[in-house]
A and B are shown apart, each in its own frame.
Chain A
Amino acid sequence: MADNAKYVTLTDANFQDEVLNSDQPVLVDFWAAWCGPCRAIAPTIEELASDYEGKAKIAKMDVDNNQQIPMQFGIRSIPTLLFFKDGRIVDQAIGVVQKRELAAKLDALASQAA
């Protein structure tokens, strides 16, 4: 885990507060340590966390340590990236996705933010 991480580390316990009750759009990366593609996308997630500081919340949830939320959202593949706004899923991406594709989705959400 990077020092000074700008992304939020999610747990089953703080998910409601950090994601569903968030004022900002939230990107949640469901990942696990043993998943190669998750490692591949990790630097992108960290970059997005810096790039979107103040505009969108970038969060990561380890599916090994937290099972309730991944099950609730029907996560069947990692990495799965879910985009939340006003407590609802508004977009998603599965697998290793290019940074600009994720940035475009975040831009779309951040621009409509109230």
Chain B
Amino acid sequence: MNTNGTPDLSAFDGIDFDEAERRNVVIIGTGPAGLTAALYAARANLEPLVFEGTQPGGQLVTTTDVENYPGYADGVLGPEMMEDFRKQAERFGTDLRHGSVTAVDFSERPFRLMVDHETPILADTVIISTGASAKYLGLKNEQRLLGRGVSACATCDGAFFRDEHLAIVGGGDTAMEEALFLTRFAKKVSVLHRRDTLRASQIMQERAFANDTIEFLWNTVVEDVLGENAVEGLKIKNVETGETSTLDVTGFFVAIGHQPNTELFKGWLDMDETGYIQTLPDSTYTNIEGVFACGDAQDHVYRQAVTAAGTGCMAAIDAERWLAEHGAIDGVRTQTEYHAAPAEDSDGGMAVQG
């Protein structure tokens, strides 16, 4: 697989790295993968520096109940769980900072990073945990009406649509969760799905089917969003019959899946055709030595909080061992209890969920 073109290094023009802060491990992203990597790297005395990115806590901060993260017997709210992750990582000395890595130069070690377009940082290893973001349909008027009735976050915006008729497009667990959430406010929620069966898990399907406020429009695609200053309807098409019609809704929620946040690494890292970073089997190694990838940025199969956390743990261990072999910054210990007594550090649990 090629590396999608040549890296653009223009962001580094005129930037002086002589005085730049140099770190053993820089972690990019603070979802379950990044914060678990931070926890393990911090416990390994690597003093990880973590950049929160544009959505601290990752995708889970826009969800409601998390019922499938082991250890929370009664479930937990997504934002609260990420607060717990953050506190646990900080307890062992994680250096967590606001800001986003906006450019990378992986051509030699230490790697060069730019933070918020202005601050240079040198990193001996980089752990990528940038996750994924909600996808939009790419319709003509979708972005124009964003915030005016078009939304990719039901939990953020649902309350603004009391007693209104809403549409949500998608057929996965996220779509079902958001549809169910929207029924708290909406008088009716139409779920639009391009097929006649859902991708969502059985339990989420059953909940959605049992809810009288939700109607399903099968084999239906959205062709455009209608409205001048606010959403007034959708132009929809039945793909079986080819018939088009207008659906009178005032809110349009998009839950059609995610795309990996890996634009920054194009030209450096091997990716599949949809932008997921490719890692070496049974590891978090990328094609560049010293750069590791974990979580949804490299996983289009499982995409669970627990699998992200699992690979985050793997990335920290991979980075630590790599630093032990290739040398870290003077004075920082890299031989830790993992190597001395791996059995003691079993609190991370299994890395991969079946």
Instruction: List chain A positions with a Cβ less than 8 A from chain B.
Output: 32, 34-40, 43-44, 47, 70, 74-78, 80, 92, 94-96, 98-100
Q: How far is the CA of A76 from the CA of B229 in the complex (A)?
A: 11
What residues of chain A lie closer than 8 Å to B57, measured between beta carbons? 36, 39-40
Among B60, B61, B157, the residue within 8 A (CB) of A39 is B61
Instruction: List chain B positions with a Cβ less than 8 A from chain A.
Output: 52, 54-57, 60-62, 78-79, 98, 100, 116-117, 146-149, 151, 153, 155-157, 159-161, 229-230, 251
A-B pair count, CB < 8 Å, reads 72
A75-B160 contact, Cβ under 8 Å, with A36-B62, A39-B61, A43-B98? yes
Q: How far is the CA of A75 from the CA of B148 in the complex (A)?
A: 7
Q: How far is the CA of A36 from the CA of B78 in the complex (A)?
A: 9
* Contact indicator A74/B156 (Cβ below 8 Å): no
**Could you jot down 30 A-B contacts, CB within 8 Å?**
A35-B156, A36-B55, A36-B61, A36-B153, A36-B156, A37-B62, A37-B153, A39-B56, A39-B57, A39-B61, A39-B79, A40-B54, A40-B56, A44-B98, A47-B98, A74-B148, A74-B229, A75-B160, A76-B148, A76-B157, A76-B160, A76-B230, A76-B251, A77-B146, A77-B151, A77-B156, A77-B160, A78-B160, A98-B100, A98-B116
Among B60, B79, B98, B147, the residue within 8 A (CB) of A77 is B147
What residues of chain B lie closer than 8 Å to A36, measured between beta carbons? 55, 57, 60-62, 78-79, 153, 155-156
Q: How far is the CA of A35 from the CA of B64 in the complex (A)?
A: 10
CB distance from B183 to the nearest CB of A (A): 17
* Contact indicator B157/A77 (Cβ below 8 Å): yes
Nearest 9 pairs of A and B residues by beta carbon: A36-B61, A94-B147, A77-B147, A36-B62, A77-B157, A35-B156, A76-B160, A40-B56, A96-B54
Interface majority SS on A: helix, strand, loop or mixed? mixed
Residue from A40, A74, A96 having most chain B Cβ neighbours under 10 A: A40
Q: How far is the CA of A98 from the CA of B61 in the complex (A)?
A: 18
Instruction: Supply 4 further A-B pairs (C-beta < 8 A) apart from A76-B161, A98-B100.
Output: A36-B78, A40-B52, A75-B160, A78-B156
Q: How far is the CA of A38 from the CA of B37 in the complex (A)?
A: 25
What is the chain B residue whose CB lies nearest that of A78? B156
A99-B147 contact, Cβ under 8 Å, with A36-B78, A40-B55, A77-B160? no
* Contact indicator A95/B117 (Cβ below 8 Å): no
Q: How far is the CA of A92 from the CA of B98 in the complex (A)?
A: 23
A98-B54 contact, Cβ under 8 Å, with A76-B251, A77-B146, A77-B151? yes
* Contact indicator B156/A38 (Cβ below 8 Å): yes
CB distance from A79 to the nearest CB of B (A): 8
Q: How far is the CA of A61 from the CA of B210 in the complex (A)?
A: 37
Q: How far is the CA of A37 from the CA of B134 in the complex (A)?
A: 13
Q: How far is the CA of A39 from the CA of B57 in the complex (A)?
A: 10
Q: How far is the CA of A43 from the CA of B60 in the complex (A)?
A: 19
Q: How far is the CA of A77 from the CA of B229 in the complex (A)?
A: 14
* Contact indicator B153/A99 (Cβ below 8 Å): no
* Contact indicator A78/B157 (Cβ below 8 Å): yes
Q: How far is the CA of A55 from the CA of B76 in the complex (A)?
A: 42
Among A39, A95, A98, the residue within 8 A (CB) of B147 is A95
What residues of chain A lie closer than 8 Å to B54, measured between beta carbons? 40, 96, 98
Q: How far is the CA of A56 from the CA of B160 in the complex (A)?
A: 29
* Contact indicator A80/B79 (Cβ below 8 Å): no
